[in-house]
Chain A
Amino acid sequence: MTSCDRTMKTDLLVVGSEGAGGPAAIEARQRGIDVLIVTKGKISQCGASQMAGADFNLDGKSAIALGFPGDERDSPERFFSDIVREGLYLNNQRMVEKYVEYCPRSIKDLMDWGMRIYTYESAHAEEMARGVIASGVLWVRAIRKKVKELGIPVLQDHMVVDLLTTGGRMAGAVALDIKTGETVLIQSKAVVLASGGWHRAYRTTSGPYDLSGDGIAMAYRAGAKLTSMEMVQFIPFTVYWPPKARGSICLYIFSQFPGVGDFVHLVNASGERFMQKYDPQTMEQSTKGIVAIASELEVEAGRGGPNGGVFFSLEHLGPEMVEMIIQGVKAQFIERFKEKRHEFTHLLPELLEHCKVGRIECGNAAHYMLGGIKVNERAESTVPGLFAAGECSGGLWGAVRVASACSEAGVQGKIAGEAASECVSKVSHVSADEQQVQSVLECITRPIARTQGIRVAELTRRMHDVSGKKLWVIKDGNGLKSALEELKQVQSELEETAILGTKSRRLNDEWIRCLELRNLLTCLELSAKAGHARKESRGEFFRRDFTDTDNDEWLKTVEIAKQDGEDAVSFEPPVVTSITPPIGRLTFQEAIGVATASLTRK
């Protein structure tokens, strides 16, 4: 019987060390709980948190209480209502209430841990910008400092490959030491997953290379219910070319800068400012979702660039004016924030410099996953002892995320830490099921032993081809259906024929990517399945064959769980506390509050 190379025992296992995992572990440790963090990278140098802007939400009243110049007219109630209204009513309102309530506490924690805050932004009119701005790097460093100060053990460069359940309860997990190739059995009473989204399922994404939906796929395999997997946010203006800057969203952020953002033109290959056709009133400043769809329609019509994008242009300003903007950006942002590890510092000026003589090809990128592990307002999943926090969880945002994902991570991390602490103090360890451990080990080592088959890179390419066409910004029923079949095919080939060039277990990069690919395919398949089930368009989810937002039929979330080895889809009305969702059928544009936009190709 094969068993793990090493064994560890802890009361609470936290998977992920950054924006959500860090605060979860800190909260538990401060309550005297024995906690272990396992992270696929190094603390403060992995995941998506470090790449964030980073904005943290704080309603006006709470801001004043914390000593910021908040707007008195704003309130937690108004903040709550904005999130639910703009989330198009699919939010779990109990989770939103808790989010609004915990945002100030989460910021207070970060300030106590030494996170420097650059500036405060107040809510103006209907805009959602309310809160403080720091930077992702400052954020994760503050968390790392606190984790070290509390002496929380961190297992770095370890990938958790599967969760273990005994009699339906969490028993721990199996992890793989990436550097040595050793397997580790981690026995724990409860698990908090804080492992982020499944960004790398898409060829073009603004997310880092380690976000591979591990937590979501593992939770699903362990029987947890997932929700809203079809809700994926795409962000326009992401750099496609040059390669060095590919995936950077600094041009999008630039387009939102007050004062200079209005200068940005988005043009197609023939130099036409195409937003004129789709949203003539607000043009490039239209809602993110509309710009994303319009960009895709242009590319579809053959008016895109060589890399499948459209173009960011400042050509109409002339080189002198662009130089003035560069100097302005340097003075206003770069010199003020003195942030070396930031794309604004090293990429933005370079890209703007290029705009003096040409355009930059840009387009949509998979940016944020609204769906994930179904949790309640206590971060509890449907599996006893399993908690989820941050991007890997679902339910908070409904159909559009308008508030901060950084705050989401901090708030849910803190909540998960609290709830998991209570949980582990009530239950005792259950021993891991040896057969389950063995089957996990067999499953992960199979590709190493195999000598003939298909390389992981080839299978990854095929997955990206499917997600880039059929699970991209504009979807339709046939595409979603065939995507599901094709992904299932890739998944079965991965299971049966994947081979690795390197046979050793030590730091076998390709092996790690093979294990990640399985999770990515699972997330994508479930996203296709949920998308196929939702026969309407809403918020971040747009279907060409059902363009209306139908509040009579579709005010419900799509949930998927494994039942007897099959994916069982169910529909549930969102949890409502104080805002009753509206009735009636609206066009997609009306529903997201854009009156003027046309979403047909011209």
Chain B
Amino acid sequence: MEAEKTIRVECFRYDPETDRAPRFETYEVPLNGSMSVHDCLLYIRENLDPGLAYFINCKLGFCLRCRMMVNGKPCFACLTEVDADIRVEPPNKTRVIRDLWSEDV
């Protein structure tokens, strides 16, 4: 299906064991109908970068373990709709285990 538009998702990437510092990686994600931040991350994981670490369980607003920072604001990834470029970071950047998954997830 043809995408309605494509957005850029800037993702926080960091492995404290091997990386000197965190970096941001940008992915192009096609939007098709109302999509959440979680849908974008799932698209990235399934199509662009299977190594991206983040937490997924119900994706429908029940488990509430997908807390992260989107454009600097705390939110739940599955409940936050996306219609323009976003920057996604873990909820707590000082306690990152890997990528978007920090100790408090």
User: Which A residues form the contact surface with B (CB < 8 A)?
Assistant: 41-42, 45-46, 50-51, 136-137, 179, 208-210, 241-248, 306-307, 341-343, 346-347, 350, 455-457, 461, 500-502, 504, 506-510
* With A179-B97, A209-B56, A342-B62: A504-B81 Cβ-Cβ less than 8 Å: no
Q: Enumerate B67-105 residues with CB–CB distance to A below 8 Å.
A: 78-79, 81, 97-98, 101
How would you classify the secondary structure of chain B's contact residues: helix, strand, loop or mixed? loop
Contacts of B45 in A (CB 8 A): 457
- In the complex, what distance in Å separates the CA atom of A247 from the CA atom of B98? 28
Q: Does the CB pair A244–B62 fall under 8 Å?
A: no
Residues of chain B with a CB closer than 8 A to A45's CB: 57, 63-65
CB–CB B65/A346 < 8 A: no
Question: Which of A246, A342, A457, A506 is in CB contact (< 8 Å) with B50?
Answer: A457
CB contacts (< 8 Å) of A457 on chain B: these are: 45-46, 50
* B7 is an interface residue with CB less than 8 A from chain A: no
Q: List 30 A-B contacts (CB under 8 A).
A: A41-B57, A41-B65, A45-B63, A50-B58, A51-B62, A137-B62, A179-B97, A208-B58, A208-B59, A209-B56, A209-B57, A242-B33, A243-B36, A243-B39, A244-B33, A244-B39, A244-B81, A341-B62, A343-B61, A343-B62, A346-B61, A350-B34, A457-B50, A501-B50, A502-B15, A504-B15, A506-B15, A506-B98, A507-B97, A509-B52
B59 close to A341 (CB less than 8 A): no
Q: Is the CB of A455 within 8 A of B62?
A: no
User: How many A-B residue pairs lie within 8 Å, measured between CB atoms?
Assistant: 104
CB distance from A508 to the nearest CB of B (A): 8
Residue of B52, B63, B65 with most partner-chain A CB within 10 A: B63
Asked if A247 meets B60 with Cβ closer than 8 Å, knowing A306-B1, A457-B46, A510-B51, the reply is: yes
Q: Contact residue range for chain B?
A: 20 to 34
Asked whether A507 and B64 contact (CB < 8 A) given A243-B34, A244-B39, the answer is no
Q: Give the distance to chain A from B96, nearest Cβ to Cβ, in Å.
A: 10
Complex interface: chain B residues within 8 A of A209 (CB) = 56-59
Using Cβ atoms and an 8 Å threshold, which residues of chain B touch A46?
Answer: 57, 63
Most chain-A Cβ atoms within 10 A of its Cβ — which of B36, B46, B51? B51
Closest 4 CB pairs of A and B: A242-B33, A501-B51, A457-B50, A242-B34
Are A455 and B63 closer than 8 Å at their CB atoms? Answer: no
Q: How far is the CA of A247 from the CA of B62 in the complex (A)?
A: 13
A456: contacting residue among B32, B50, B97, CB under 8 A = B50
